[in-house]
Amino acid sequence: MTRLIFLGPPGAGKGTQAKALADFLNIPHISTGDILRQAITDQTDLGKKAQEYMDKGDLVPDKLVEDMVEERLQKPDAEHGWILDGFPRTVAQAIFLGELLAKVEKDEEKVVNLDAPDEIVIARLLGRGRKDDAEDVIRHRLDVYRRDTAPLIKYYGDRQKLLTVNGNQSQEEVTTALKKVITV
């Protein structure tokens, strides 16, 4: 059973690579960003609350995201594995996830850190043309990432669950490197 958590700065290629690996492994790619964007499009209560935070480049509060992830991991397609993209984003969320997985005796996850320099991810994000991808918002998101999410690299490294892949390569080279590290 493959359970992977993808870490890395915004624009490092987590979504693209998670999708490719999920297809390769035949497991679901669970993107909290996609789930949140759909909730915003559908104008659900969660979507309206999340929109306020996302427009500023801030993280959506833990409790909202935790409830959503717990519900998603209980769906039948996630029974034999999954790739989480965009969660956890804080050590508190990692602790929540660890407790959740231990409760269902499925706590053998691996954590993949896609590493890429700021200037590369800024250029990538500006090139996608999303509404929330203005340069000032991107730089704020990188600051939030360094403050709140980067500590997860040490957290999972201390638990011998961390695998790091250079995200500053071609898409194909990153995919090949990921396949190599997850099958070790």
Q: What is the pLDDT of residue 64?
A: 86
Residues written for the chain: 184
User: In whole angstroms, how far apart are CA 17 and each of 31, 121, 183?
Assistant: 12, 15, 15
The amino acid that residue 170 corresponds to is S
Q: What is the pLDDT of residue 183?
A: 81
Helix (H, G, I), strand (E, B) or coil at 52: helix
The amino acid that residue 87 corresponds to is F
Q: What is the pLDDT of residue 184?
A: 66
Q: What is the pLDDT of residue 36?
A: 85
Q: What is the pLDDT of residue 173?
A: 97
The pairing of beta strand 29-31 with beta strand 81-85: parallel
CB 176 within 8 A of CB 126: no
Beta strands in the chain (DSSP E): 2-7, 29-31, 81-85, 110-115, 162-166
Q: What is the pLDDT of residue 1?
A: 83
State pTM to two decimals.
0.86
Number of Cβ within 10 Å of residue 11's Cβ equals 25
Task: List per-block mean pLDDT (blocks of 10 residues) for the chain, which spans 184 residues.
Answer: 93 94 95 86 88 85 87 89 93 94 83 95 90 89 93 96 95 96 82
Burial class for 43, CB neighbours closer than 10 Å (0-12, 13-18, 19+): exposed
